[in-house]
Chain A
Amino acid sequence: MTDEEILLMLREGREHTALTKLYTHLPKVERMVRNNSGTRADAKDLFQDALIILHRKARSSEFQLTCGLGTYLYAVCRNNWQAELRRRGRFTQELEAAPDEPTDLDELLATEGRNGLAERALSSLGATCLDLLKRFYLLKEPLVAIAKSLGLAGEGAAKTRKYKCLEEARKRFRALAANAGDINLQAQ
């Protein structure tokens, strides 16, 4: 399976096969992390985050691949691991970059890091909230249908519930971001 085919699959929503295939790049990341004071679990988390970024990125129309997918994933992991090591206050040498690795990842990784906090805030919500939001945003079910399957009075009730859930998520997101030292959010 070539990189183009994998990208196409990600774009067309046949991501399961594509992602499974992409995991063949995990061992290389694992080696890098384990050689630099990390564990196998660290490597897995790091790699899955890179997959999420690639998955989301691939679906946006402007995404242009300038290097191999393996290199791309490795570059994301390397950058994030470097940041993590710095965050842990560890003295580290620069992790070795692949020669053809993309250099414009900084902004993307910063945004995705923030989105990752939002993801954590959302995942920490109660099961009902998460279910409702998944149905609304991911499965694109109409509010009426959601109200029905969750046993709510009607569309209005579902809407209110969704509002409350999002508000709660927003509150938790803010707290997480403040913890992570996100200056943009702390202002005001």
Chain B
Amino acid sequence: MRNELELMDLIERYLDGGLDHTEASVMSQRIAVDDGLRRQVEEQRALRAGMERVGSRMAVVKAYRSYRFWKWAPWMGGVLLLTVIALVTLWPSEKEHDYPQPSVEVAEVPTPVEAPTEEPDVEIDRTPSDPGSTSVHRMVTKEIKVVEDVIQDTVLSGQRVEVKQRVVSAESVQLPMVWDDAEVVHNTAALEPRPAFPGGDDALGAFLMKNLQYPAEAERKAVQGRVVVSYIVMKDGTIQDIRVEKGFDAACDQEAMRVVRKMPNWAPGKLNGELVNVRVQLPIVFTLRIQRME
């Protein structure tokens, strides 16, 4: 073992550049003819590099922690701030909420005659907030002027290999879907052209396939089903007011929403030659397919 230790030392110094000129050239010559030695030198070089990597990795992992921290810290700060704001704003409103009841009782006790006048009083308290909010609602709905449309005839499927023995996650968009509201059918027929994903239904299918990820949780629980997402394709092609019309699993619904949100602008639809806002229904089917790996 003595000799081997000595040899390792020699290689170490050789790699360090710690040998003098003659020693180094002797070493180089030995390496040139001795395969075993060359191999040992190479291995030792790799191990030294490996050691440097151990050091690098420690720094990299440490940096990852602080990256994560600084990535989330502003959020945490935001959440804290929101909590504080919520507390501050909820505090008095809770008190206000408490007031009316006792005040009614107090009023009732001294003069029962005045009781009827109190009811209008309470109503006046409410009125400023109620009509205001409904009028805003009305304005919004008027502005959007929605025509509904259903995407049809797109059937897609595909798969992505995941766990050792299974092929998981075929997401498909499948139709014709059931939507027998008379008004919708009427409006769909009248649209010319109907709103379209840039590149057409094939491109839409490809886009969904590319971006949809089977939610891990759903995959594990083998949850399958269909989400119907609807959204409005505005006159300028933007996608707005995304809703889950029919969902089946929170994670899958979320995933469908996420991908729809990522969609590029559509070509808007027209009715009688005029641009209109159209509500589009997009069914997305999540299915798991069991397959053998080849």
Chain A residues with CB under 8 Å of chain B are 15-16, 19-20, 22-24, 26, 34-35, 37, 44, 48, 51-52, 55-56, 90, 111, 114-123, 130, 133-134, 137-138, 159-160, 163, 166-167, 169-170, 173-174, 184-185, 188
Contacts and interface: CB of A to CB of B under 8 A. Distances in A.
B114 interface: no
Contact of B53 (A37, A52, A167, A185): A52
Interface of B: 1, 4-5, 8, 35-36, 39, 42-44, 46-57, 59-64, 66-67, 70, 160-162, 210-211, 213
Nearest to B293: A89
Contacts of A170: 43-44, 47
A91 B252 CA distance: 27
B24 to A, nearest CB: 20
Contacts, number: 115
Contacts of B56: 51-52, 55-56
A119 B67 contact: no
B63 A16 contact: yes
B50 A134 contact: no
Contacts of B63: 15-16, 19-20, 22-23, 51
B67 A23 contact: yes
A48 B60 contact: yes
Nearest to B6: A163
B57 A122 contact: no
A16 B56 CA distance: 10
A20 B60 CA distance: 8
A37 B5 contact: no
A188 B39 CA distance: 9
Contacts of B61: 48
Contacts of A160: 5
7 contacts: A23-B67, A44-B64, A116-B53, A138-B54, A166-B8, A169-B47, A173-B50
